[in-house]
Chains A and B, each alone.
Chain A
Amino acid sequence: MTKKTPKIQTKHEEIAELQHLLTESIEREKRVLADYQNLVKRNQEERVKFLQLANKSLVETLLSPLEHLSMAAEQLDDQGLNMVIRDFWQVLEEAGLEEIYPKGKNFDLETMEVVDKEGEGEEVTKVVKRGYQLNGQVIQHAKVVVK
């Protein structure tokens, strides 16, 4: 018996070690599986978002020329140009674009960014850069001056 004890002890240690390894492996396997399932879920969510905002990058590149066109219209007050802008806007509205109109309102953190203030209040007095939402999501915050 005395000879066998160390052997048995070694076996016990071996079993304990193997059990430990098994527990670790199972844990790791679960994590990997969970990772995968989360990835699938997120992938679906991202797909929905992607479809909603599929036009986002194109629309974003159009914001600058759109703003310039509006400035031209304000300066020139040309009927033809105004018609062109209305046409342009109709297409963009169909794609889900909306302009944010902050003037006269109080500063709103969700849709605006303050670039200057002329007093202690929070009322928007100037819009230095127009803001836009695409399908309800802000894609360009309106840059405003408050008073």
Chain B
Amino acid sequence: MSDKKSTKTGKIIGIDLGTTNSAVAVMEGGTPKIIPTAEGGNTFPSIVAFKNDEVVVGDPAKRQMVLNSSTTVNSIKRFMGRKFNDKAVQDATKHISYELAEGKDGMATAKISGKNYTPQEVSAKILQKAKADAESYLGSKVERAVITVPAYFNDAQRQATKQAGQIAGLEVERIVNEPTAAALAYGLDKKGNQTIAVYDLGGGTFDISVLEIGEGVFEVKSTNGDTFLGGDDFDNKIIDWIIAEFKKESGKDLAKDPQALQRVKDAAEKAKIELSSSQKTEINQPFITQGDEGQPLHLTMTLTRAQLEELTDDLVKRSFGPVEKAMKDAKVKTSEIDEVILVGGMTRMPKIQKEVEKFFGKEPHKGVNPDEVVAIGAAIQAGVIGGDVSDVVLLDVTPLTLGLETLGGVRTPLIERNTTIPTSKSQIFSTAADNQTQVEINVLQGEREMAVDNKTLGRFVLDGIPPAMRGTPQVEVTFDIDSNGILNVSAKEKNTGKEQKITIQNSTNLSDDEVEKMKADAEKYADEDKAKKELIEAKNKANGVAFELEKQLKEYGDKVDEEVKTEIEENVKKLKEMSEKDDVTKEELDKATEETFKVAQKMGEAMQKAQAAEAAKGAEEGEKGEDKKEEKGEEKEGAEEGQVVEE
């Protein structure tokens, strides 16, 4: 909450200080990352154990909780910034095994071994672990943090959270609402004015918040919830069901046998997780207990997703009471909710996702791990404060395709839309006509196939290309967009090295409406554009064939019969005329090109014949030469033999 610029440097971490579990995240290389705990998990229980002078936090604290129940503090968040006599505090005492006491100014404190600990002090232990884990992960000191709190936290509760951070040696850069952090994790702050509902069903509490966001500012419209509804309630339903079913079958009560009960608890949690991805699960626990005659009894049953949904139906329904109240308080209709976000591990349950979708009439966001989404959002907020997050560099993409105009008015794309910038792309182009000494680069933006239908961002001419046959010069065109969306287009003739360039500011700076219109147009005219492009390509092909044949006729015309030569010339002329017509169709052109090819084959055949004849002639002459040599040799030999003859 401080506006003062911090004097401390180094990374700022994001901490989700939860009632049941906590998580820490940090921006790394431009993306948020969950920091693994020293124990190897992504989250850790918000439990603190005091034993003599030793303090244990997280998983180890949870493991000894049964042994030292009166000195182990869980759910401290429920008492943060609250008076001892608050109803909420008194209600919560039923769910904890340590003693609560009235502290300074009537505030609630945890009484451990005769000493009063404020919720700030206990929370500081959790934050210290978060800090230590982050330091070990990052390999550097961590002195600043963004901490999340429930949207309903009042000023005293927020102040208490901030104090907890200070006790832990952290400068609390900002206190962020948990639903706001979740919205940040999904990047919803960048989507303009929105009304967002955040459904958060965690380990022990349920919260629903309705937020309104405009110009990057979040406003909490309403919050509601159930402070004692969470994942454990769902587990207990399955445990009770297994025990009841087993009792029906065997008459044995597994709840009375600690070993069996532990196995049932583990099996229930496993079944719950499995049923989020499959329709049914087998619960197999052999030798779970013994019968009256000492015979082994096995637990084997099948639990279907439908059964689980039936078992937990009342819990799911219970969450929608607060949801309705929150909607009423925010004075918004479900149809006015633009986005729905799911937070908390329990929201992995398909039934919950289905019910949320049914209630709001739209599919909720669920891409980010629901256990980590709040910490991720806190890290993003921390990144913004620390300067690690800069929208332009990290997140911008080209909204539309960038390309250039090529032969026949066709748009040739170079950088496709949605490419993350900065980026650069080069392609080699050539001339379209013989002795062409300049090329015009028309820089286009848009999704349409024809150049004319796209937006021209700029154009320039590269001249001084040495005269050559069409297709011979090599012009390298490079499109380069920097992180600010500035587009540099350059064209370089590779032979001479001559270069020309243009800079276009704000190539990505289009209004959403403009982008949408251009995309919609592209879709609307897709077929028409495709036909146009194909026709142009057919014309280009016809021209190319005509050009090539003319070239060959010039070179080899004397080797071809006059008749064939005339036929080819006529076809080439016809093809050229046809490709210049506006009303010609692609089919007509393709057919004419095909026919010209066939005629051209005659030239090929004639040339082959001529070559073969030449080769044969050459061969004959060669053979004759050989014969003469042989004859001479023989004569010589003969002469040698005769010695006297002729010589």
Asked whether A107 lies within 8 Å of B67 as measured between CB atoms, the reply is yes
- Given known A114-B67, A115-B66, contact A128–B263 (CB-CB < 8 A): yes
Flag whether B63 is at the interface (Cβ < 8 A).
Answer: yes
CA distance A75 to B63 in the complex (A): 29
Tell me the complex Cα distance, A24–B287, Å: 66
Known: A24-B387, A39-B29, A115-B258. A109 touches B64 (CB 8 A): yes
| B622 in contact (CB, < 8 A) | no
Q: Mark B6-48, 1 if CB is under 8 A from A, else 0.
A: 0000000000000000000000110000000000000000000
Q: Taking the nearest CB of chain A, how far is it from the CB of B516, in angstroms?
A: 33
**Complex-state Cα separation, A128 to B259, whole angstroms:** 4
Asked if A115 and B262 make an inter-chain contact with CB atoms under 8 angstroms apart, the answer reads yes
* Stretch of A6-14, A29-37, A85-93, A95-103 contacting B (4+ beta carbons < 8 Å): A29-37
User: Is B64 in contact with A107, judged by CB distance below 8 angstroms?
Assistant: yes
Among candidates A72, A109, A114, residue contacting B286 with C-beta atoms closer than 8 Å: A72
Closest Cβ–Cβ distance, residue B417 to chain A (whole Å): 27
Assess the B258–A126 pair: CB atoms within 8 A. yes
Asked if A145 CB lies within 8 Å of chain B CBs, one says: yes
B380 to chain A, nearest CB (A): 16
With contacts defined as CB atoms under 8 Å apart, how many contacts are there between chain A and chain B in the complex? 62
Q: Is A141's CB under 8 angstroms from B63's CB?
A: yes
Q: Is the CB of A116 within 8 A of B56?
A: no
Interface contact A129-B262, CB-CB below 8 Å: yes
Q: Does B388 contact A (CB under 8 A)?
A: yes
**CB pair B258 A68 closer than 8 Å:** no
Q: Is B60 an interface residue (CB 8 A)?
A: yes
In the complex, what residues of A have CB within 8 A of residue B187's CB?
A: none
How far apart are B549's CB and chain A's nearest CB, in angstroms? 58
What B residues does A126 contact at CB under 8 A? Answer: 258-259
A134 CB–B CB distance under 8 Å: no
Provide the B299-339 mask, 1 if CB < 8 A to any CB of A, else 0.
00000000000000000000000000000000000000000
- Given the complex of chains A and B, what is the CA–CA distance between A28 and B64 in angstroms? 44
Known: A75-B296, A109-B60, A128-B259. A122 touches B67 (CB 8 A): yes
Residue B266 at the chain A interface, CB threshold 8 Å: yes
B262–A128 contact, CB under 8 A?
yes
**Cβ of B381 to closest chain A Cβ, rounded Å:** 17
CA distance A145 to B66 in the complex (A): 9
B407 near A: Cβ within 8 Å?
Answer: no
Q: List B contacts of A68 (CB < 8 A).
A: 285-287
* Interface presence of A38 (CB below 8 A): yes
**Which residue of the partner chain A has the closest CB to B296?**
A75
Known A24-B387, A28-B387, A38-B139; contact A116-B287, beta-carbon cutoff 8 A: no
A-side contacts of B258, CB under 8 Å: 115-116, 126, 128, 145
Contacting pair A32 B64 (CB below 8 A): no
Of residues B64, B138, B139, which shows the largest number of chain A Cβ atoms within 10 Å of its Cβ? B64
A35:B29 contact, CB within 8 angstroms? yes
- Report B-chain residues with C-beta under 8 Å of the C-beta of A24: 387
Query: B137: which A residues are within 8 A, CB to CB?
Result: 42
What chain B residues lie within 8 Å of A41 (beta carbons)? 139
Verify if B65 is at the interface (C-beta below 8 Å from A).
Answer: yes
**Taking the complex as formed, is A54 at the interface, i.e. its CB lies under 8 A from any CB of chain B?**
no
Known: A36-B29, A116-B258, A128-B263. A146 touches B67 (CB 8 A): yes
From known contacts A113-B63, A114-B64, A145-B258, infer whether A72 and B388 are also in contact, taking CB-CB under 8 Å. Answer: no
Interface string of A113-140 (1 = CB under 8 A from B): 1111100001000101100000000000
Q: Which of B234-292 contact A (CB under 8 A)?
A: 258-259, 262-263, 266, 285-287
Residue of B nearest to A36 (CB): B29
| A contact residues around B62 at 8 Å (CB) | 113
CA distance in complex: A100, B263 (Å): 18
- Does residue A71 face the partner (Cβ distance < 8 Å to B)? yes
Query: When chains A and B are docked, how far (Å) is the Cα of A145 from the Cα of B262?
Result: 11
CB contact between A114 and one of B66, B139, B259, B266 (< 8 Å): that residue: B66
- Smallest Cβ-Cβ distance to A129: which chain B residue: B262
**A interface residue numbers (CB < 8 A to B):** 24, 27-28, 31-32, 35-36, 38-39, 41-42, 68, 71-72, 74-75, 107, 109-110, 112-117, 122, 126, 128-129, 141, 143, 145-146
Q: List 13 A-B contacts (CB under 8 A).
A: A24-B387, A27-B387, A35-B28, A38-B139, A39-B29, A68-B285, A72-B286, A72-B287, A75-B296, A109-B60, A115-B262, A122-B67, A126-B258
Which 7 pairs show the lowest CB-CB distances between chains A and B? Answer: A113-B63, A128-B259, A71-B287, A114-B67, A114-B66, A128-B262, A116-B258
